[in-house]
Amino acid sequence: MRVSVATAGGTFSSLFTVVASGIQAGSGPSVVQTYQVAMSGLNNLYKRLSASGARIISVSPAGEESPAVPVAASSAPAPQAVTSSPAPKKKPHANVPVNTYKPKTPFLGTVTENYSLVEEGGIGRVQHITFDLSGGDPQLQYVEGQSIGIIPEGEDANGKPHKLRLYSIASTRHGDNYQDNTVSLCVRQLEYKNEAGEQIYGVCSTYLCDIEPGSKVKITGPVGKEMLLPNDEDANIIMLATGTGIAPMRTYIRRMFEPRERDANGWTFRGKAWLFMGAPKTGNLLYDADFLHYEKEFPDNFRYTKAISREQQNAKGGRMYIQDRVLEHADEIFAMIENPKTHVYMCGLRGMEPGIDEAMTAAAAAKGLDWSELRPQLKKADRWHVETY
């Protein structure tokens, strides 16, 4: 049994969140329960849970997102061991930069490159676009998992300047050139037919996909703390991506496995990372060659599973979507999720959510778990991260 205990100080009235899995009343299937308890009540709760045969998954100060240091349950310190002069409570990710540049005073970045990510046979247009951020005062800095805003040139139908659109950052904080002064995006050109049958192209995505190196672009942000990686080098990271939802996953995977990133970070990932990527065609598997390379170089730490809907079939003979791959690997995924060090990240079009939810519901049920209960608990423990659009 592993229990995580808070390293920060607290008082006897400080609230703690205890996550434990145990047997339901009436010998039902195992469930994960979250308890909020004052420090003075921790000992009693430990005793109660142990007596019921429950397994304590984590104990952390209420409101703190990252799991604290795991120790053997038997050596979990009694609440009295905590100092009576607590360190000031710092919010997790408090140092992550946000809104350095706002829409009224955006930063003017310069496009350095813009190339296609779609390989032969792929559908649509998806571009990898890099902006030079140097010369900013202050410098626009960001971390993996954040987004930036882009304000396209021109005016909307009412003659007003266009509003910003958000894009997930696809480069690590060091940038693709490791110089700490660029940011890259992965942008799909929105295109659809309206009710009159006219071909419509999205304003900002078309502006970006067409943009030439040397052009100046209005950039805002960075924003977002939902998709940040845990600091723990031993964390396990399950990634579920479709289409341009690969952008944050690319940043994580580069941070974890790109040798120059590892040198620059002083952060050595030792956990397991598993990427599930959904695309319609092989040619739409964005950054595929990079991921295959990392899989070859780090076979014990990185796994890459693809769902190519128009080329592969699921067990029922239908199109292979990412949720079918999740179902196929349900046992392994849930074995990983039982470990409090495992985080799940989902990114892509909003339409992917119901399918993943359905797959997780079925996968959980097969293990005697109720996904509708488990998901909010994982979310509360900051282990379930979703950014869909």
Ligand X SMILES: Cc1cc2nc3c(=O)[nH]c(=O)nc-3n(C[C@H](O)[C@H](O)[C@H](O)COP(=O)(O)OP(=O)(O)OC[C@H]3O[C@@H](n4cnc5c(N)ncnc54)[C@H](O)[C@@H]3O)c2cc1C
Active site residues: 167-168, 347, 387, 389
Interacting residue with ligand X among 8, 190, 264, 362 (CB under 6 A): 190
Number of residues that bind ligand X (CB under 6 A): 18
Q: Which stretch binds ligand X (CB under 6 A): 49-57, 185-193, 290-298, 369-377?
A: 185-193
Task: Give the per-residue contact string, 319-358, with ligand X (x = CB under 6 A; - = no).
Answer: ----------------------------------------
Q: Pick between residue 17 and residue 146 the one whose CB is nearest to ligand X.
A: 146
Residue 389 contacts ligand X per CB under 6 A: yes
Could you tell me if 277 and 306 are in contact, meaning their C-beta atoms sit under 8 angstroms apart?
yes
| 110 close to 214: Cβ distance less than 8 angstroms | yes
Per-position b or e across 71-92, b if 16+ CB within 10 A of its CB: eebeebeebeebeeeeeeeeeb
| Stretch of 33-41, 181-189, 337-345, 376-384 contacting ligand X, by CB under 6 A | 181-189
Position among 192, 196, 259, 316 found at the interface with ligand X (CB under 6 A): 192
Q: Which stretch binds ligand X (CB under 6 A): 88-96, 111-119, 159-167, 266-274?
A: 159-167
Give me the least distance between CB of 173 and ligand X, in Å please.
17
CA distance 23 to 52: 8
Q: Which stretches of 219-368 are DSSP H helices?
A: 246-257, 259-265, 288-297, 322-328, 330-337, 352-366
Q: How far is the CB of 273 from ligand X (least distance, A)?
A: 20
Which residue is associated with the tokens 């142990």? Answer: 50
387 binds ligand X (CB under 6 A): yes
The radius of gyration computed from the CA coordinates of the chain, to the nearest angstrom, equals 23
- In the complex, the smallest distance separating the C-beta of residue 193 from ligand X, rounded to whole angstroms, is 7
Burial class (CB in 10 A: 0-12, 13-18, 19+), 367: middle
CB of 161 to ligand X, least distance (A): 13
Q: How far is the CB of 386 from ligand X (least distance, A)?
A: 11
Q: Is 186 in the site for ligand X (CB under 6 A)?
A: yes
The whole-angstrom separation of Cα 126 and Cα 186 is: 7
Pick between residue 64 and residue 387 the one whose CB is nearest to ligand X: 387
147 binds ligand X (CB under 6 A): yes
Choosing from 32, 118, 247, 275, the residue that interacts with ligand X (CB under 6 A) is: 247
Taking the complex as a whole, the smallest distance from the CB of residue 346 to ligand X amounts, in Å, to 12
Binding to ligand X in span 201-220, by CB under 6 A? 202-205
Alpha-carbon span 301 to 269, nearest angstrom: 9
H/E segment holding residue 146? none
3-state helix, strand, coil in the chain (%, to 5): 25, 30, 45
- C-alpha count within 13 angstroms, C-beta hemisphere, residue 185: 26
- 287 contacts 250 by C-beta, under 8 angstroms: yes
Interface with ligand X, residue 165, by CB under 6 A: yes
Binding site for ligand X (CB under 6 A): 147, 165-168, 186-188, 190, 192, 202-205, 244, 247, 387, 389
